[in-house]
Amino acid sequence: MGTLSNIFWLGTKEVRSLLRDFVMIALIVWAFGPGLLARATGNAEAVNNASIAFVDEDHSALSRSLMGALTPPYFQEPVLIEPDELDRAIDQSRFTFVVVVPPNFEADVRRGLQPEIQLNVDATAVIQAATGTAYVQEMLMDQIAYFAQRSDPVAVSAVDLVVRRAFNPNGIQPWFQSVVALLDQISILTIALTGAALLREREHGTIEHLLVMPLTSFEIATSKVLANGLVIMFAFAISLTFIVEYSIGVPIAGSRALLFLGTFVYLFSAAAIGVFLGTVARTMAQFALLMLLTIMPMMMLSGGMTPIESQPAWLQPITQLLPSRHYMAFSQAIVFRGAGFEAVLNEFLAMAGLGIVFFGASLVLFRRSITMSR
């Protein structure tokens, strides 16, 4: 009972200290609120609201129908410009795409010729330009084929390929991005809060006061893990409800209780990493550098940026040592596939095991780091 009481009061002190840090509170609110929403909806790989202009030198029904084929939400309303404005419009970045329809275009199509349409692209917007070019080409070709045949073109194929998308039928990119962003925010803030809390005690000289009290390293480290983890857990629950589900519209297919349980286990693992880094670092500057070396691989190799199977073969086994990789698979299975506990048991145990290893290593180094800093 004495150990639990010590952990409770130390954790209470930690929470009060965090609540008095208005800068950190503002950072948490931003990270799990507007920041998460902006990242989830702003990094879509599909073309969205791209600016486009037309140079219509044909002034025919076909050229006007081509303008009408490029519609929102993929493109903005096409703007009609004069030929001598083209170069200046591209140079000034007014439009990402400019389509030039030559004279006698409709007449040449009627005669069965193959006239050319010029597509000018501002390739400084690399992703938008690369993806948008295919969009423009497909939309224009469909419209020209419909005009030439006077009916919807019918593709003739020996095989009828039927595509059925599971779990995300419309291919909504923000659904996936929101879960990835939530994982990244949890990782960054949990590691930062726990490690910084330990270093703050050392820099203010209060860690020595704690060590001369009848407290163990386990109680001190556990109180920081639990206190900061509970704060992030509360922020996670609010963000999941109001940002991910309500604002972005991501349906949670599986059990929310199981998702919260797995998130708590991952928070323990991430907080243990934060305490471990806090014991290794001697100053806040060293801790910041260690965070960069730790968090970036956790984010890049979690499977959120690129699937694990698409990563180099020699690197894939190493990702098994990252709790973020297991939490990404765990959360996606529950949120999108509605998986039960049996399906995510291995990921759950892996997160717990890695957390215990990092926490144990932190306890071993805790006293040693304090002795070396004296």
CATH code (residue 91): 3.40.1710.10
> Alpha-carbon distance 314 to 325, whole Å?
16
Position 158 in a domain:
no
Distance of CA 323 to the CA centre of its chain: 16
Position 156 in a domain:
no
Asked if 278 and 198 touch (Cβ cutoff 8 Å), the reply is yes
- For residue 192, give the 3-state DSSP assignment: helix
Domain check: are 336 and 255 in the same one?
yes
Domain check: are 350 and 242 in the same one?
yes
Based on the structure, what is the number of domains in the chain?
Answer: 2
- For residue 246, give the 3-state DSSP assignment: helix
pLDDT tens per residue across all 374 residues of the chain: 577 777 777 778 788 888 887 888 888 889 898 888 888 876 555 677 788 888 888 888 888 888 888 877 788 888 888 888 888 888 888 888 899 988 988 888 888 788 888 888 887 766 677 778 888 888 888 888 888 776 444 455 556 677 777 777 777 778 888 888 888 889 889 998 888 877 777 766 666 666 666 667 777 778 888 888 888 999 999 999 999 888 888 888 889 999 999 999 999 999 889 888 888 887 888 888 888 888 888 888 888 877 888 888 888 888 899 999 999 999 988 988 888 888 899 999 999 999 999 888 888 877 665 555 54
Domain check: are 73 and 32 in the same one?
no
Position 154 in a domain:
no
Integer CA distances (angstroms), 125 to 38, 98, 119, 140, in order:
19, 14, 15, 21
Domain check: are 234 and 328 in the same one?
yes
**E strand spans, the chain:** 52-56, 79-80, 97-101, 118-121
Asked if 31 and 191 touch (Cβ cutoff 8 Å), the reply is no
Position 340 in a domain:
yes
Sign of CA dihedral 120, 125, 128, 130: positive
Position 134 in a domain:
yes
- For tokens 């009408």, name the residue: 68
Asked if 123 and 80 touch (Cβ cutoff 8 Å), the reply is no
Domain check: are 129 and 180 in the same one?
no
Domain check: are 56 and 39 in the same one?
no
Integer CA distances (angstroms), 272 to 21, 203, 277, 351, in order:
22, 20, 9, 11
Position 160 in a domain:
no
Domain check: are 111 and 203 in the same one?
no
Minimal CA–CA distance to 335: which of 182, 163, 170, 165?
182
Domain check: are 26 and 61 in the same one?
no
Pick left, alpha or beta for residue 49 (phi over 0 → left; psi -120 to 50 → alpha; otherwise beta). Answer: left
Asked if 86 and 100 touch (Cβ cutoff 8 Å), the reply is yes
Domain check: are 185 and 300 in the same one?
yes
Domain check: are 91 and 204 in the same one?
no
CB atoms within 10 A of CB 285: 9
Domain check: are 279 and 220 in the same one?
yes
Domain check: are 195 and 319 in the same one?
yes
Range of the domain at 271: 2-43+168-373
- For tokens 């045949």, name the residue: 149
